[in-house]
Amino acid sequence: MPTVTFFGATGGVTGSCFLVETAHQRILLDCGLIQGSSREEARNGEPFPFDPASIDGVVLSHAHLDHSGRLPQLVRDGFKGWIHVHKAGRDIVEILLEDAAWLSGKEAKQTSRNNRNRGEDEVEPLFTREDVAICMDRMAPLEYQKLYEILPNVHLKLHDAGHILGSAVVELRTLENGAEKRLVFTGDLGQKGSPLMRDWEPLESADLVLMESTYGDRLHRSRRETEQEIKEILQKAANGRGNVLMPAFAVGRTQELLYLLGKHYKDWGLEGWQIFLDTPLGIRATEIHARHDRYLRPAAADWVRETRFRFPNLRITETAEQSMAINRIQSGAIVIAGSGMCTGGRIRHHFKHQLGRSGTQVIIAGFQAEGTPGRQLVDGAPSITIWGESLRVGAQVHTVGGISAHADQDGLCDWFRGFRLAPAVALVHGEDSARKGLADVLKERFSVDAAVPALGDRLEY
């Protein structure tokens, strides 16, 4: 019987990595970075818990670094096979890995400089841009809803997950001794009714489902309520003569915020605002979205073809000097800046100058992992630490979950309801409280006893 071993995203939402083994093949589902506290992220430099050279193929659910970020290390350490990914996802993962390599190199230089001053050893980056280029040569771009034989007796079909551009629910079919087994891996499932992304595609049969559970214990506000909330936050900022800071993931969240601001430009009274797209990576990702508009919701695709994500008062700040100039604006600025969890990027510079102001409004519109500055803001911390400096939180912080790229508990159950016969389930990519919440509701609604695997657990199916 095939087996799956859980090497990441167990009890947390990062480090996605699952090894599927048949009698003759070893297939890796995702190979993601661990994100969060510095102690957690240090684990990314550890050797893999398997021999990369023994892996026959990799299937990548989508481009986010918590699913793709260790692929250059995997290739560098001996993996010789193909990495199968949706064609739009391939373009996204390339810019994310190049950016991660640049950041890793920058951090390694700084750490090495500090170590030399203390008489300690220098450090190497996790991977380099050269490693990324070699890794990208191993990428095999695929389409949705086509069945591919990726290895002998191993077939793969990708289904639109509705999460980000090129995201996929993975359907892996393996054949042993004349018996076919189907493993389905959700990757990350999007919300139905996203203004930008198409809805996820349902599946009807599986023997085992590896199911994400990011929001497995909670419900989102409705889209209509969320958009009204954003409108009210903008009005509050205008009345208080302050600015609005939007930490945003470069892929997905940035483009959805641009779409909402563009579509509601008049309704939300944005004529008097200065709106900044202040994320070089987000700018590149937005260009890729415009190039692959056929994978967006039809109404959004029409708008993107017409506007290329541009609208009045939107300013694209490519250079550091342009970004720094934003902080001379005391009021009337809306700033979309990376990173999504406030762990890096230009948002930290804006926090340094503006987080202490009572008139500043901070909109948190994505999941914040434990140990990140974004999570501290969501939890109401009176201060956060950036570059070793404690920053007082005088701003008003708003958690806007209704535009999350993840399905909530009801959305996950709605997707699961598509199966004709309930398959076995293992819950991944969620904190333990979220996994327990989803396990309870799957038991109540579908009479399914979902497994909640720990790191290193192995499961037959």
pLDDT of 401 strictly over 80: no
Residues 18-52 pLDDT 10s = 999 999 999 999 999 999 888 899 999 999 999 99
Q: Domain range holding 200?
A: 3-218+405-460
pLDDT at 367: 85
Assessment of whether the complete model's pTM goes beyond 0.85: yes
User: Locate tokens 């399905």: which residue?
Assistant: 407
Phi then psi dihedrals of residue 397, to 5 deg? -105, 125
> What average pLDDT does the chain have?
96
- At 273, list the tokens: 């605002």
Which CATH number covers residue 144?
3.60.15.10
DSSP string, 9-75: -SBSSS---EEEE-SS-EEEE--PPP-SSHHHHGGGGSPPSS-GGG--EEE----SHHHHTTHHHHH
Q: Could you tell me the pLDDT band of residue 370, with boundaries at 50, 70 and 90?
A: confident
Provide the number of structural domains found in the chain.
2
- Identify whether residues 329 and 377 lie together within a single domain: yes
Q: Is the dihedral of CA 279, 282, 284, 287 positive or negative?
A: negative
Average pLDDT for 253-276: 96
Say whether both 203 and 265 belong to one domain: no
Asked if residue 250 and residue 142 are part of one domain, the reply reads: no
pLDDT digit string, tens, across residues 265-316: 999 999 999 999 999 999 999 999 999 999 999 999 999 999 999 999 999 9
Say if residue 430 is in the same domain as residue 300: no
Q: What is the dihedral of CA 267, 195, 404, 386, to 10 degrees?
A: -60
Q: Are 342 and 351 in contact (CB under 8 A)?
A: yes
- DSSP secondary structure letters along 227-256: HHHHHHHHHHHHHTT--EEEE--TTTHHHH
Any idea what the CATH number is for the domain that residue 271 is in?
A: 3.40.50.10890
Residue 36 is predicted with a pLDDT of 83
135/83 Cα distance (integer angstroms): 9
Question: Strands 244-247, 361-364: parallel, antiparallel or unpaired by DSSP?
Answer: parallel
- Of 354, 386, 403, the residue that ends a domain is 403
Cis ω for the linkage preceding 339 (within 30 of 0): yes
| Claim to verify: residue 128 and residue 175 sit in the same structural domain | yes
Task: Give the distance between the most distant pair of CA atoms in the chain.
Answer: 70
Which tokens is 222 given? Answer: 């409705």
Query: Which token pair is 155?
Result: 């077939």
- Tell whether 423 and 394 lie within a shared domain: no
| DSSP letters spanning 363-401 | EE-S---TTSHHHHHHTT-SEEEETTEEEE--SEEEE-G
pLDDT of residue 412: 98
User: How high is the pLDDT of residue 426?
Assistant: 98
Which pLDDT value is given to residue 369? 83
Last residue of a domain, one of 379, 403, 427: 403
- Residues contacting 10, CB < 8 A, separation 6+: 428, 453, 454, 455, 457
For residues 104 and 29, state if they share a domain.
yes
Task: Over range 218-239, report the average pLDDT.
Answer: 94
Task: Give residue 318's pLDDT.
Answer: 94
Same domain membership, residue 197 and residue 126: yes
Render pLDDT for 326-367 as a digit per residue (tens, 0 to 9).
Answer: 999 999 999 999 999 998 899 999 999 999 999 999 999 888
CA–CA separation, 102 and 131 (whole Å): 11
Q: Say yes or no: 198 and 249 in one domain.
A: no
Instruction: Give the residue from 274, 269, 259, 273 showing the smallest Cα distance to 307.
Output: 259
pLDDT at 402 over 80: yes
Query: How much is the pLDDT for 197?
Result: 97
Share of the chain above pLDDT 70, in %: 100
For the cut 80, the answer to whether the pLDDT of residue 141 exceeds it is: yes
Residues 275 and 336 in one domain: yes
Continuous H helices in 155-297:
223-239, 253-263, 280-291
| Residues 137-156, mean pLDDT to the nearest whole number | 98
**Element at 351 (helix H, strand E):** helix 347-354
* Tokens coding 297: 């919701």
> According to the model, what pLDDT value does residue 119 have?
86
Give Cα 260 to chain centroid, integer Å. 19
Residues 82 and 145 in one domain: yes
Domain boundary among 372, 387, 403: 403
What pLDDT, on the 0 to 100 scale, is given for residue 436? Answer: 98
pLDDT digits (tens, 9 = 90+) for 433-444: 999 999 999 999
Smallest CA-to-CA distance from 132 within 104, 171, 172 is with 104
Nearest to 90 by CA among 124, 44, 58, 42: 58
d(CA 211, CA 2) in angstroms, rounded, equals 18
Whether 369 contacts 341, CB under 8 Å: yes
Please check whether residue 17 is in contact with residue 32, taking contact to mean a CB–CB distance below 8 angstroms.
yes
Adjacent-strand bridge partners of 247: 337
The answer to whether residues 56 and 156 belong to one domain is: yes
Which among 5, 97, 8, 80 is positioned nearest to 44, based on CA atoms? Answer: 8
Q: Which two tokens stand for residue 390?
A: 């404690």
In this structure, what token pair is assigned to residue 191?
A: 């919300």
**CB 402 within 8 Å of CB 221:** yes
Q: Is the pLDDT of residue 117 over 90?
A: no
